[in-house]
Amino acid sequence: MASLWFMLVLCLTTWVSVSTTPDKTIFDPLGDHGGDKIIFKPYENHGAPKSSHDSPKGHHDAPKGSHDSPKGNHGAPNAPHVAPKRGGSTPKGPRVSPKQKQARPFFVFGDSLVDNGNNNFLITGARADMPPYGIDSPDHSPTGRFSNGLNIPDVISEYIGSEPTLPYLNPQLTGQKLLIGANFASAGVGILNDTGFQFLNVLRMPLQLEYFKEYQQRLSLAIGDEKAKQLVNRALVLISLGGNDFINNYYLFPGSARSQLTSLSDYVTYLIVEYRKILEKLYELGARRVIVMGLGPLGCAPGERMQHSKTGDCATDLQAASALFEPQLTQMVQDLNAKYHADVFVAANTKLMNYDMISDPKAFGFKTSTTACCGQGPFNGLPGLCTVTSNLCPNRDEYVFWDAFHPTERACRIIGQQIMNGTHEYMKPVNLSVIMAVDSKM
């Protein structure tokens, strides 16, 4: 059971069955089913080789105490962090055709897995605005992302041929920048409004959706109502929610109010009902292509391993929560698509994507999935303690986890590859490459 250290936890690791009809409506651009509809055959010439996801080995990499820091940069709190040269075959965004390079707008909602800096503009404990966060970003400085460099939305921006979206609270989001889209995500939030209360000032989901409405009003003033509606309708949307509702709510501390009042099974069902309302609101606000990220293997994050095991085993209660949540999320997405008679929502099985790397890190070129690159304590898993005084690994590309709960840039790139090209096991009903191919014919 989790301890009071969860009061410091920054938001989470994250972490759908398709109709068997061979020909199906994938996109209804007007949303009222009165316009042109695109028909496709699922995964025709767009599949990707299935990657293995064997069960975890019976042993785990043990923490090695402190990690060597990049030369001459990690010991004095005010010393700048200098990133070493990075090797390996970290996946990059694909080459796209000239037509695909006409970047589509991109909107992002959710928690710290996808937040790219909104919390920098808030008075909150859930911030990533200090070194060594951002050590592998272009200027080696913190950006507000809970990463050593890029995060999952940044990787997807590369795939769709766009520059990264700006945080909605960033004053630079004006003029032509509005046409790129916006990131509304905020570290610490969950599906439920009382999740992450310990972080105080964060953009909870009702506020993120309200800001999305405000964005559309600003966009309408800039390009007119009709063009603004069309831009939103053809945009790609990414949302990541749910992990904090377990780590920073149900399992926040032993005997939490939620866990005393509600069984885990009933709680998961309640979360799915509330999540559906959020997705329906996104549709009401014009979203027509939404990638819904699932949970990750919550109990396998270094922060949870530290809390629950001296040998590095995954936390069984949080693993049980992930196992209950994922199939219900899949079914909910399928039900919504049936309601709207189009594949508006796409379920990304990020639980399996992450589990592949965690269960067999060496198959993906990682050294460990048990210990975080940056942190303190066993497995570098003390929540909230990736700071200038922390242990810091010299090569981030060798680690699945950057800090106690968040993946490294390289792990994010592997997840991005699966979102782009993953088989039906990972992306239901279709992957992003199919979406781009179909939508390019509109």
Active-site amino acid positions: 112, 403, 406
The torsion angles phi and psi of 31, rounded to 5 degrees, stand at: 80, -10
User: Is cis: bond before 429, omega within 30 of 0?
Assistant: yes
Task: Identify the CA nearest to 148 among candidates 390, 419, 392, 418.
Answer: 392
* CB neighbour list of residue 389: distance below 8 Å, 6 or more residues apart: 77, 376
For strand 374-375 and strand 38-40, is the pairing parallel, antiparallel, or unpaired? unpaired
Q: For residue 278, give the nearest of 189, 155, 352 by alpha carbon.
A: 189
Give the H/E segment covering residue 391. Answer: strand 391-392
CA distance 396 to 367: 10
Of the candidates 3, 6, 1, 13, which has an alpha carbon nearest to the alpha carbon of residue 369? Answer: 13
CB 136 within 8 A of CB 70: no
Distance between CA atoms of residues 367 and 156, nearest Å: 25
Helix and strand numbers (H, E) in the chain are 11, 10
